[in-house]
Structures are given as C-alpha cells and as structure tokens.
Amino acid sequence: MNIYSDERLINLGIISGTVGRDFGSARDKEIAAKIFESLGIPLSKILGLKQVHEDKIININSDEDLAAYKSQNLHEADGWLLSLPQTGVMILTADCVPLYLWSADGKYVSLTHCGWRGIVQELPKKAAEMIKAKTQEKLQAYIGPHIKDCCFEVKEDVASRFPKETIIQRKNKIFVDLDKAIILQLTSAGVDEKEIQTGCHCQCTCCNKKDFFSYRRDGTKDALLSFVYKL
C-alpha cells in the first residue's frame, strides 16, 4: 500500500497519511474497511463525516466530545481537531487537499479536507488558530497529494477569490497554486514556513493517474482516504 505521509507525524506516534489508489476507491466503505484492517487500526475507532466544502472543524478532545459525536447521525464538516488517544479520523479527497496540521509535541492534530471553497473560507487558517488556542507549541504541517498548479485551471470568478500571489497565467489560462494559498494562510496564523512540507509535482492527483484518483481528470466519485490515528 502506498501511503503519503510525513515522518515527523509518524515519529510522534500518530499513524497517518493519504492512501494511494492501489486498494481502490475509499468512497466504498468495504474498501475503506480493508485499508484500516491492513493497517492494523480498528475500524470501530475511526470517525467519519459528510464533507460539504465549508469551514467547520469537529473537535474530538475528550470522552465527552466523542460521546457528543456518537449521539448524532449526520456530521457535516470538513475537518477534525483530535487529541483523544486511541481514536482516529478520516476524510476523502480526489483533487482537494488533505491538510495535516499538528502541535510539535503531537498532542493536537488536525486533518482537514481543503477544496478551493474551503480554502477561500480560510479553513487552513482556522485549523491553525484552533490548535494555537489550545497550546503554545509550535505548529507543523504536511500538505498531502492534491491537484497542483500544473492542472488546477480555473475561470476568472474562482481566481478572483484567491490572493494574487497564488495565481499563475499560462497561455491565456489561469491556474491557482493551492499549496501557496495554504502556506499563506498558515504563515499568517503564525506557522513557520520551514515547518510546512509539501509534496512534489509527482503528487499532483490530476497528473499522476497511476497513484491517485482525480475528479478533474476522471469526473468520477472515486476518492482517496486520508486518516489520522492517535496511539
């Protein structure tokens, strides 16, 4: 299984990453279950949500939070802030950004589904501010596989919602650099740019058909699983 992850997070005892397409689409619950089984993570400990391209983040920091989560059926949100041990969270992406953000001591870890709509609603910045409100530790980040500036062509209406530093013009086409947009938000929230890791262009979901699903390329609902599990 190919897992795209950040060693800093793994070294903190946080099993995490974005799983490549070799297992199939994790939109299929049986496939998601198989992925967790092969990772040795109990499926019953994994929490899910209904992604809606907005900016809500669910806190799972205590047994009370977990009980509140379990007492409701539908969780419309696009991210997690987790500190409860032996608990895991997941999101699905296929071009959108799986953003991993954590305090350097590993106590708090956030995983957010950042599509362009979530990014213009400042979901990355909000995740950083939520962790900073809980701890003085420095923050670290990993921007997982997603559609990169080579392929993320947009029209003027979408481009106009992004900072100009993130816009690239090529042959009368407009592209947005989502890595850059996220880095700008995280640094404005006080994250040191040196602490933010991004993948190479080989981690563009749209270019790299062998390893990833891409909504832009394929137009299907197939999706990659991203997860965080705290030991």
Q: Could you say whether residue 52 binds Zn ion (CB under 5 A)?
A: no
Residue type, 60: I
Contacting residue, 206, 223, 225, 228, with Zn ion by CB under 5 A: 206
**Which span sits near Zn ion by CB under 5 A: 10-18, 68-76, 105-113, 149-157?**
149-157
205 φ/ψ sector (left φ>0, alpha ψ -120 to 50, else beta): alpha
User: 70 and 114 in contact (C-beta within 8 Å)?
Assistant: no
**Which span sits near Zn ion by CB under 5 A: 41-49, 79-87, 150-158, 179-187?**
150-158
Contacting residue, 151, 178, 191, 228, with Zn ion by CB under 5 A: 151
Residue closer to Zn ion, measured from CB, 151 or 189: 151
Q: Could you say whether residue 204 binds Zn ion (CB under 5 A)?
A: yes
Least spacing, CB of residue 219 vs Zn ion, in Å = 16
Residue closer to Zn ion, measured from CB, 108 or 215: 215
Provide the H-helix boundaries in 114-177.
116-120, 123-132, 156-159
Instruction: Give the C-alpha separation, 71 to 205, whole Å.
Output: 35
Q: In what order do the strands lie in the sheet with 153-154?
A: 153-154, 173-176, 167-170
Residue closer to Zn ion, measured from CB, 102 or 212: 212
CA distances from 194 to 105, 127, 177 (A): 17, 18, 18
Least spacing, CB of residue 217 vs Zn ion, in Å = 9
Residue closer to Zn ion, measured from CB, 143 or 191: 143
Q: Which of 106, 122, 124 is nearest to 12 (CA)?
A: 106
**Which span sits near Zn ion by CB under 5 A: 61-69, 108-116, 140-148, 156-164?**
140-148
Q: Could you say whether residue 184 binds Zn ion (CB under 5 A)?
A: no
3-state helix, strand, coil in the chain (%, to 5): 30, 30, 40
Binding interface with Zn ion (CB under 5 A):
148, 150-151, 204, 206-207
